Amino acid sequence: MATSEKMQAMMKETGLDKFLQETVLGLIEKQPVVSPDSLEAIAVPVPVTTPEEDAARIASLKQRIQLMKKDVPPPADAPPPEEGAEPEYILPVDVEGDIGDVLGDFKLLERAGVGFGKPANIRMYLALKMLMHKNMGALEGEKIVRVRSWGKVLGLEKDYMIAEVVMEGRQAMPPLPEGEQPPSIVPRDPVSDSFADFLTSANHFVYYVCNVPGEEWTRLPDVQPDHIKAAGLIKRAFSGNLSANVGSKAPFPGKESEYLRAQIARITHDTRIAPRGHLIDVTDYEGGGDLAVGQSEEGTFHGLTPQEMCDLRNKAWVHSAHDLLPQGRASYHNYGWVQPDDKPEVKDPRLEKNRPVLQSVHLDPAPYLGAPAWSAHVCGGLAPEYACAVVRSNLWPGACTVGQGYTFVNYYVGNGCQTTGTMFAPAMAWAVSPDVDHPEYARGPKANGICGDLNLEPPPSR
């Protein structure tokens, strides 16, 4: 009897009796299928935290809650709303414009293992709606009519969340220089104010960035040919500050905002793809008409299965954008180049041509990778109704396209740098060649040598 009382007192002191009660009650309520091997996992004690750890966790939760809150307090100069009307600073349910199925795209990306969690997806969706509703960064006469999430670029201090925007009445930013420019200056690609399924200009869309969804969006400038050419010569991580200098061996003519915009253009034109049959080329090549590529007629594209989407050799995916030429543009600008007389070996830049329209991604070159430029696999093959195809770029790690049936989405999550194929390794030093003219390399009279190329004397005889 005394032993039983001692055990009960010990269980109360250590809290073992309460733990056993909670465990048994949990098993009764949930009634799991318990195997003997899982009994140890069920009996794992709840970790004990200190008051300092609890306070730090609560402070972190409060900070996250502040980021998720809406900016509901009205501005000081906001006029009072009319009776029965909502204030202007509250985000309406329906926003004028095309925002697409953002949450559906994120759900499709999560099946491929690319995602940020449901809370982050909701915050990004609300941030895109706020961007369209407030028409942020728009000049006079401009109106945001379409927006989508382009991706996320990881930085050392902060990350960049990027939105791709279509603007009506769009103007060049910064404004184009007035007057006639010298022929040697290559102008930037033209801007556009409408959506296109096939990109023929590096400035077709407008891009906005923010560090955290919910913060103010910042509009990036139009990309310049010099920025694209300079970005291809360097490999540098982003800091997360748009006004930071770009320190590199090859000088970059701009700040980090211009460098980010140039990398966005390079990634977009190299990794934007579409399934075979979704787009069709209707250009009148015989009549010399302009390039015309658009969606196929309704009823002609029946979608592809995940297995068919992963068959890259069978032209399952094609490029939906022109590649960027060495000139720094998506289309060549003829500025009256003349072959120099003293350099006959210089190639004519007018021979620069884009890859064929709707070329298969299987034909993309990757000479320094030792592997194909693209890889594909099926996710969720055990459940065919939820299976999807994932196509990833090996040249731009982080660029992926997820497709299922008729639906597909291009997305990017990475550090914004192109792979070089191999890790950095310092060059091996060459062997030192002996010079007979220097006395330190002269062989001594008694040095017959115990090694063919060393000036060593033989061991003394005993």
pLDDT tens, position by position, 287-296: 766 778 888 8
pLDDT at 237 over 60: yes
Amino acid at 336: G
Identify the pLDDT of residue 109: 92
Picking from 57-61, 236-240, 430-434, which range would have the lowest pLDDT averaged per residue? 430-434
Average pLDDT for 39-51: 64
Higher pLDDT, 426 or 132: 132
Q: Is the pLDDT score of 152 beyond 90? A: yes
Rounded to 5°, angle at Cα 201 from 199 and 202: 105
Confidence of residue 21 (pLDDT cuts 50, 70, 90): confident
Q: Which residues contact 203 (CB under 8 A, 6 or more apart)?
A: 188, 189, 190, 191, 192, 222, 223
Residue 310: pLDDT band (50, 70, 90) is: very high
Q: CB–CB of 294/282 below 8 Å?
A: yes
How do the residues of the chain divide into helix, strand and coil, expressed in percent and rounded to 5?
25, 15, 60
Which has more confidence, 449 or 64?
64
| N-to-C CA span, the chain | 92
Q: Compute the mean pLDDT over every residue in the chain, rounded to the nearest whole number.
A: 82
Q: CB burial class (10 A; 0-12, 13-18, 19+) of residue 343?
A: exposed
Is the pLDDT reported for residue 458 higher than 60?
A: no
Is a pLDDT exceeding 70 seen at residue 128? yes
Listed range (69-83, 121-135, 298-312, 418-432) with the worst mean pLDDT: 69-83
Better-scored residue on pLDDT, 81 or 148: 148
- Whole-structure pTM value: 0.73
Portion of the chain with pLDDT greater than 70, in percent: 79
Residue 187: pLDDT band (50, 70, 90) is: confident
Strands 143-153 and 399-404: unpaired
Give the residue among 195, 150, 116, 202 at the shortest CA–CA distance from 401.
150
Q: What span, in angstroms and rounded, lies between the C-alpha atoms of 152 and 162? A: 6
Q: Is the pLDDT of residue 264 over 70?
A: yes
Read off the pLDDT of residues 321-376 as tens digits, 9 standing for 90 and up: 999 998 899 988 877 777 778 877 777 777 778 888 899 999 998 867 778 899 99
Name the DSSP class of 265. Answer: H
